[in-house]
Amino acid sequence: MADDCPKSDDVMHAESWEQRYVEGTTGWDLGGPPPALVALLSGLEGGPRRVLVPGCGNGHDAVAWAKAGHDVVAVDYAPSAVLGTRQNAEAAGVEVDVRQADLFALPADLDGTFDAIWEQTCYCAIHPSQRDAYVEVCGRVLKPGGRYHGLLWNHGQPGGPPFDVTPDDVRARFAAAFELESLAPVAESVPSRANEFLATFRRPA
Ligand SMILES: C[S@@+](CC[C@H](N)C(=O)[O-])C[C@H]1O[C@@H](n2cnc3c(N)ncnc32)[C@H](O)[C@@H]1O
């Protein structure tokens, strides 16, 4: 995946990500939801959630949430990712509200409207200097009691993207505004993603 990503300095620009989609060098794209999301969805209790998928890429995860009956908003700032998500949602016969937007400048109408955030390969794709701002965005868009679910990759390599994510890093960054509900290695990762963990943080009610 590293070879397919924009260079570290370019990671904050939509054009760099868009270029990857145009070239078809999207090694991060699993072509479907990861096993950890399939397991999460099958174990969820209660009614449908309103879910945000930031950095949605081609929207496989957003489509999986929508197919499971949830109300999904998917955000990406690369135009081809937005198009890919729309096409995948249409092919699956589900509704996904797809927004082309910078996740650090989300429209105010999204504030406080989500029960859940789901992401993979977004926290590791943004520049580490943006991580605190990312956590602030999560706190702003979630309802009180809402949950952030991150499938995060502790690959242990220097540089990026993908930038390494450690359990200590996310625990520390989410600590000020969230309660940690769970953080554990995932049982099943795709072979190219060893050492993933799933973290769930809850915005206090
Ligand atoms: C490594 S890709 C992962 C895509 C998707 N999560 C997946 O697993 O297939 C990272 C995605 O995040 C998007 N992205 C990065 N920074 C962003 C930002 N500030 N606002 C919106 N999207 C962003 C990129 O355009 C890219 O589609």
Task: Provide the mean pLDDT of the chain.
Answer: 95
Instruction: Give the contacts of 58 (CB within 8 A, at least 6 positions apart).
Output: 26, 29, 81, 84, 85, 88
User: What are 140-185's pLDDT values in tens digits?
Assistant: 999 999 999 999 999 999 999 999 999 999 999 999 999 999 999 9
Ligand 1: residue of 1, 11, 17 to mutate (most ligand atoms within 8 A of CB) is 17
- Predicted confidence band at 5 (pLDDT cuts at 50, 70, 90)? low
Interval 30-44 mean pLDDT: 97
Q: Which amino acid is at 68?
A: A
Spatial contact of 200 and 181, defined as CB atoms under 8 Å apart: yes
Mean pLDDT of 104-132: 97
| pLDDT-derived band at 1, boundaries 50, 70, 90 | very low
With a 6 Å cutoff on the Cβ, whether 29 touches ligand 1 is: yes
CA–CA gap between residue 56 and residue 75 (Å, rounded)? 6
Q: Measured from the CB, is residue 15 less than 6 Å from ligand 1?
A: no
pLDDT digits (tens, 9 = 90+) for 47-102: 999 999 999 999 999 999 999 999 999 999 999 999 999 999 999 999 999 999 99
CA separation for the pair 181, 5 (Å, rounded): 31
189 and 34 in contact (C-beta within 8 Å)? yes
Residue bearing the CA closest to ligand 1, atom 23: 55
Provide the pLDDT confidence category of residue 7 given band limits of 50, 70 and 90.
Answer: low
C-alpha dihedral, 35 to 40 to 42 to 48, nearest 10°: -130
Whether the CB of 103 sits within 6 Å of ligand 1: yes
Query: Cα dist. 175→159, 164, 201 in Å?
Result: 25, 19, 9
Cβ neighbours of 51 (radius 10 Å):
24
User: Domain spans of the chain?
Assistant: 35-178+185-202
Q: What is the mean pLDDT of residues 16-45?
A: 96
Cα–Cα distance, 153 to 15 (Å, whole number): 24
> What is the third-level CATH fold of 35-178+185-202?
Rossmann fold (3.40.50)
- Give me ligand 1 centre to Cα 47, in Å: 28
119 CA distance to ligand 1 middle (Å): 10
**pLDDT at residue 9, as a whole number:** 62
Question: Is the predicted pLDDT of residue 2 greater than 60, yes or no?
Answer: no
Handedness of CA 35, 18, 87, 53 (dihedral sign): positive
